[in-house]
Structure 1
Amino acid sequence: MNDMTDTTHSSTATHKPRPLVDLLISILIPSLILMKLSGEANLGADGALVLALAFPLGWGTFELVKYRKFNFIALLGLISVLLTGGIGLLKLDNQWLAIKEAAIPGLIGIAVLVSTRTRYPLIRTLLFNKSVLNVDKIHERLEQGGHTQHFETRLLTATYWLSGTFFFSSAMNYALAKWIVISPAGSEAFNAELGRMNLLSYPMIAIPSMIMLMAIFYYLWRTIHGLTGLKLEEIMAPQA
């Protein structure tokens, strides 16, 4: 009985990334709804907007509740969805959409920078954590070689680069929103443009940002390898 309880608890507490599912629910389905079902003969502009936003909102809420773990970035994502809905349903000026698109990643970038002044830089949460890297072994080797301070300096540099990826995303989000979404909020054309913006945001913003994150991770790996002599398989977190 205890084994069954432990297994159930473990399965609900462990979050496994599902990028394809996230892409489908957060971008593809909402974009198609906005572009194809916003006409008066279908759901109408407001109905399509509500349905489209229900997918990422419901999925994000489900994940937050299921795994019972506060996630600052996920929470900002949910707030972003709610703000988009508010702008569309209240028919606010399009400028607010561009500001909102820039504000979310911008706030994350600022939080990453501010965290460098605390004991817990956000890069430790996002990249240098026990779910990704074998943190204990890395720290042990760093202490043995007397390289801990050198590594902390490199980690600080990586943190600055990490904040830069969010500021890049912020600027690109603003530019994309201003370029594509030009119709009045609450209209069929606004929804179609919003859907198109969501689709284009992946190749124009998400993929470049992922490449930047990979470059930062490579920098960390080279730093760790150079200071500790550990191989890649020793640096990565052990698989359960």
Structure 2
Amino acid sequence: MSGSHIPDHQPRPFVDLLVSIVAPSLILMKLSGDEHLGSVNALLLALALPLGWGLFELVKYRKKNFIAVLGMISVGLTGGIGLLELDAGYLAIKEAAIPAIIGLAVLISTQTRYPLVRTLLYNPNVLNVDKIHTALEKNNSTAEFEGRLQKASYFFAGTFLFSSIMNYVLAKWIVVSPSGTEAFNEELGRMTLLSYPVIAIPSMVMMMLIFYYLWRTIRRLTGFTLEEALAPHLAEK
């Protein structure tokens, strides 16, 4: 199949939320009893949903996403801890390790030609990068902008540090039962459900503030309005 036949990826946040958080949490909390699926089968089904959805997106849209791959690894490790009945303390370590690895990758990327914040926020799919770069050069502001972009990278890494700490605290606070038990599954489901309002939403707000910081910098250094700075396909909408 040629690249031209690969469909465009359309974000579906509500479907992602339902498949990755709500449905697995409900399965773990409501179907882990022996009168239903049992602890092992409920755990397998709950893990299969986000893992299967991630693989489906990867195969259909051919999107090799570092963060998405780490997410699938995270799901696999959670399953391993539950199925092998390892100490629940490993779950807290795993929950903290994944965002910590991403944050470390963000920091390391600042020393390369392709910092992750540039890939995720300052990219042609979101902003008219060529137009902005031309204006920055014309105003002799390129160096100042690069410094601000570097600072945005540090803020970006900070969001993952926050997520890492909160993941660890949430896991230690909620998941206290031995792995492989019905109680462990129920606690895992409760932790997954709580992770959205406690961790995901604050992290999303911080990401929006970082983008706003980046946008304010672009507006000050180029004089562009938001419509003028956006990528052409977004500006048209």
Q: TM-score category by the smaller chain?
A: over 0.9
Offset at residue 13 of structure 1 (A)? 4.2
Q: Which whole-Å CA distance do the structure 1 matches of 2:49 and 2:229 have between them?
A: 37
Q: Which residue of 2 aligns with 1:90?
A: 84
Offset at residue 69 of structure 1 (A)? 2.5
Q: 1:136 and 2:130 equivalent? A: yes
| 1:117 alignment partner AA | Q
Q: Which whole-Å CA distance do the structure 2 matches of 1:22 and 1:164 have between them?
A: 24
- Partner deviation per Cα, 1:32-78 (whole Å, 9 max, x = no partner): 00000000011000000000011000000111111113110000000
Q: Which residue of 2 aligns with 1:184?
A: 178
- Partner deviation per Cα, 1:81-137 (whole Å, 9 max, x = no partner): 000000000000011100110011000000000001111100011111111111111
Which segment drifts farther, 135-144 or 159-168? 135-144
- Partner deviation per Cα, 1:4-43 (whole Å, 9 max, x = no partner): x99x935x34222111110000000000000000000110
Q: Which runs of structure 2 are paired with 1:158-169 in the superposition (5 Å)?
A: 158-169=152-163
Q: Which whole-Å CA distance do the structure 2 matches of 1:202 and 1:111 have between them?
A: 23
Seq. identity, %: 68
Match of 2:22 among 23, 28, 33: 28
Match of 2:209 among 212, 215, 222: 215
Q: Which whole-Å CA distance do the structure 2 matches of 1:49 and 1:141 have between them?
A: 54
| 1:45 alignment partner AA | S
Q: Which whole-Å CA distance do the structure 2 matches of 1:30 and 1:174 have between them?
A: 20
Q: Which whole-Å CA distance do the structure 1 matches of 2:154 and 2:63 have between them?
A: 26
Please say if residues 38 and 49 of structure 1, whose CA atoms lie closer than 8 Å, have aligned partners that are also in contact.
yes
Root-mean-square deviation (CA), in Å?
A: 1.4
Q: Which residue of 1 aligns with 2:13?
A: 19
Flag as ranges the 4+ runs of structure 1 deviating above 4 A.
Answer: none
Q: Which whole-Å CA distance do the structure 2 matches of 1:73 and 1:13 have between them?
A: 21
Q: Which whole-Å CA distance do the structure 2 matches of 1:188 and 1:91 have between them?
A: 12
Equivalenced residue count is: 234
What's the TM-score once normalised by structure 2's chain length? 0.96
Q: Which residue of 2 aligns with 1:54?
A: 48
Q: Which residue of 2 aligns with 1:232?
A: 226
Please say if residues 39 and 45 of structure 1, whose CA atoms lie closer than 8 Å, have aligned partners that are also in contact.
yes
Q: Which whole-Å CA distance do the structure 2 matches of 1:156 and 1:14 have between them?
A: 30
Match of 1:103 among 97, 103, 106: 97
Gaps of 5+ in 1: none
Please say if residues 13 and 68 of structure 1, whose CA atoms lie closer than 8 Å, have aligned partners that are also in contact.
no
Which segment drifts farther, 147-156 or 128-137? 128-137
Secondary structure at the residue paired with 1:239? helix
